């Protein structure tokens, strides 16, 4: 029996939201810690994180003169923000709820637990200590869920949609974070120490710090961090790695041709990176690259929806007849 298109879609979205919640939680925690270290007047602020996590317009609309605390609240628990960690967790749960038969039972319980933590710790206004505790717990439980899925879920169609959602979301997040860091460090703003702090923050928020150190064995320079996060084939949060895994997941799904075609330009973008090799980091070039990549990534997302979660599978003729 084949997987229902709707169930596949909910698994895909559930997986994306889960991954987004975890990544956002880590990014926010890192930012919070860094803000405590930075000298007054430094260029880092919550607004750049808000831009990274993709909810800038709404934020400005809602809060006229936000302080740090309100800004953090907006990212952590604000119901108004569909990208807040708590909102992502809620969306993940609502998606998985209708697919709960497909998930291993313990994984579903852990998803329920995530929402409980979000309710207790993140939805409380203006209690930064509670938020930080909550965000740490969220990251932990998310890791547990990934473990439960890896260890207990059959590698059927459902699992492949789960992977597709996760890999796509990771590529999206990595490129957003890089884009933001490039902006903040461009034009040699601030001291070397400050620049280094920003790039260290990037690595930490993608839990890449330790693996970067092992692999690159050099000081933290923007050039190397960008390289590592885009092209390293062994690090499970790099773009190259996730693109490879996304291709594998897609290939094992029925009739993948259209989606494989849509994936082509992403590989080409990675190849094009070799041209930038050896040069100093050029902010404009990196930003242009990220923009192009993001556009093609969105196309892959659309292709997946069109191929496997269509609104209707009636032929045009049948639709005409029905009207």
Secondary structure of 139-178 in the HEC alphabet?
A: HHHHHHHHHHHHHHCCCCHHHHHHHHHHHHHHHHHHHHHH
Site string for another protein, 39-78 (x = CB under 8 A): ----------------------------------------
Nearer to another protein, 108 or 241 (CB): 108
Position 105 contacts another protein (CB under 8 A)? yes
CA distances from 314 to 304, 305, 311, 320 (A): 18, 16, 9, 10
Q: Which is nearer to another protein, 106 or 133 (CB)?
A: 106
CB of 164 to another protein, least distance (A): 11
Residues whose CB is less than 8 angstroms from the CB of residue 149 and which lie 6 or more positions away in sequence, other chains included: 103, 104, 107, 159, 162
* Nearest CB to another protein, comparing residues 13 and 308: 308
Taking the least distance from each CB to another protein, the nearer of 8 and 149 is: 8
Tell me how far, at minimum, the Cβ of 256 lies from another protein, in Å. 10
Q: Please choose, from the candidates 124, 115, 120, the residue with its C-alpha nearest in 3D space to the C-alpha of residue 90.
A: 115
Count of residues that bind another protein according to CB under 8 A: 30
Q: Is 302 in the site for another protein (CB under 8 A)?
A: no
- Give yes or no for residue 6 binding another protein (CB under 8 A): yes
Interface with another protein includes 214 (CB under 8 A)?
A: no
Residue that has been written with the tokens 């994180």 in this structure? 49
- The 10 Å CB-count burial string (b at 16+, else e) for 149-161 is beeeeeeebbbbb
Among 2, 214, 219, 234, binds another protein (CB under 8 A): 2
Instruction: For residue 203, give every residue at least 6 positions away whose Cβ sits within 8 Å of its Cβ, in sequence order, or none.
Output: 209, 212, 220, 225
d(CA 27, CA 53): 9
Question: Which of 85, 107, 203, 253 touches another protein (CB under 8 A)?
Answer: 253
User: At closest approach, how far in Å is the CB of 61 from another protein?
Assistant: 23
Per DSSP, the three-state class of 104 is coil
Answer yes or no whether residue 4 interacts with another protein by CB under 8 A.
Answer: yes
What is the phi/psi pair of residue 176, to 5°? Answer: -65, -45
Q: Using CB under 8 A as the criterion, which residues of the chain lie in contact with another protein when the complex forms?
A: 1-6, 8, 94, 97-98, 100-101, 105, 108-109, 157, 161, 253-255, 308-310, 312-314, 317-318, 321-322
């Amino acid at each position: 029996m084949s997987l229902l298109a709707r169930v596949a879609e909910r698994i895909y979205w559930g997986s994306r939201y889960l991954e987004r919640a975890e990544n956002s939680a880590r990014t926010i925690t890192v930012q919070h810690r860094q803000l405590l270290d930075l000298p007054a007047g430094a260029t880092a602020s919550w607004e750049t994180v808000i831009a990274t996590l993709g909810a800038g317009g709404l934020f400005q609309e809602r809060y006229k003169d936000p302080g740090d605390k309100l800004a953090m609240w907006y990212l952590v628990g604000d119901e108004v923000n569909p990208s807040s960690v708590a909102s992502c967790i809620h969306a993940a749960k609502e998606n998985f709820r209708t697919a709960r038969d497909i998930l291993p039972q313990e994984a579903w319980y852990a998803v329920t637990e995530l929402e409980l933590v979000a309710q207790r710790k993140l939805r409380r206004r203006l209690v930064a200590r509670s938020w930080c505790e909550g965000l740490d717990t969220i990251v932990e439980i998310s890791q547990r869920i990934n473990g439960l899925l890896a260890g207990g879920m059959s590698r059927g169609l459902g699992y492949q949609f789960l992977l597709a959602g996760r890999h796509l979301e990771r590529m999206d997040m990595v490129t957003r974070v890089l884009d933001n860091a490039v902006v903040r460090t461009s034009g040699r703003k601030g001291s070397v120490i400050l620049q280094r702090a920003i790039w260290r923050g990037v690595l930490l928020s993608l839990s890449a710090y330790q693996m970067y150190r092992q692999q690159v064995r050099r000081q933290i320079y923007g050039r190397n961090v960008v390289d590592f996060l885009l092209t390293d084939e062994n690090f499970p949060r790099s773009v190259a790695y996730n693109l490879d895994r996304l291709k594998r997941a897609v290939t094992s799904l029925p009739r993948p041709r259209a989606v494989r075609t849509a994936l082509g330009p992403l590989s080409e973008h990675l190849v094009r990176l070799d041209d930038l090799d050896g040069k100093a980091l050029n902010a404009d070039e990196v930003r242009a690259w990220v923009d192009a990549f993001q556009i093609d990534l969105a196309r892959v997302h659309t292709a997946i929806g069109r191929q496997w979660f269509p609104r209707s599978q009636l032929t045009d003729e049948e639709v005409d007849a029905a009207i």
